Structures are given as structure tokens and as C-alpha cells.
Amino acid sequence: MKDNSVGSNLAAQWDALEAEVDRLIERNAALNRENEALRRQQQRGSVERADLVRRNELAKSSLEAMINRLKAMQED
């Protein structure tokens, strides 16, 4: 009877281990999906930031040109 109990216990432990491995595999897949989504989000943020910096520089140049024209008009 004891051998049957040990066998049952080992089978239960094996099943529990198998379930835990399956859970870890799914968790790993979920984390990989999340990581990929975060990488895409970061990439979009970097592109958006670069565009904003470019647009800010254009606005700054335009404003400086207007200021210089106004100063030139005052000197005339």
C-alpha cells in the first residue's frame, strides 16, 4: 500500500511541476508580448520627440528672423 501512496505522491508532484512549467511558459510569453509593446511605444515616443525638437527649432528660427526684421525696421 505504501508503494502505491508514494507513486501517487510522485504523480501528483509531477503534475504540479508540469502545471507550474506551463504557467511559467505562459508568463514568459506574456512578458515577451508586453516587452515588445513597450519597445514599440518607446520607438514611437522617440520619433515623436525628434519631430517636436525639429518643429521647435523651426519655430525658434522663424521667431528669431521676425525679431531681426523688427529690429531692422526700428533702425530705419
Q: Helices in 1-76 by DSSP H: which ranges?
A: 2-75
Report angle CA 38, 42, 45 to the nearest 5 degrees: 140
Count of the separate structural domains present in the chain: 1
Give the separation between CA 26 and CA 18, rounded to whole angstroms: 12
Model confidence pLDDT, tens digit, residues 14-72:
999 999 999 999 999 999 999 999 999 999 999 999 999 999 999 999 999 999 999 99
Range of the domain at 61: 1-76
- CA dist 34 and 42 (Å) reads 12
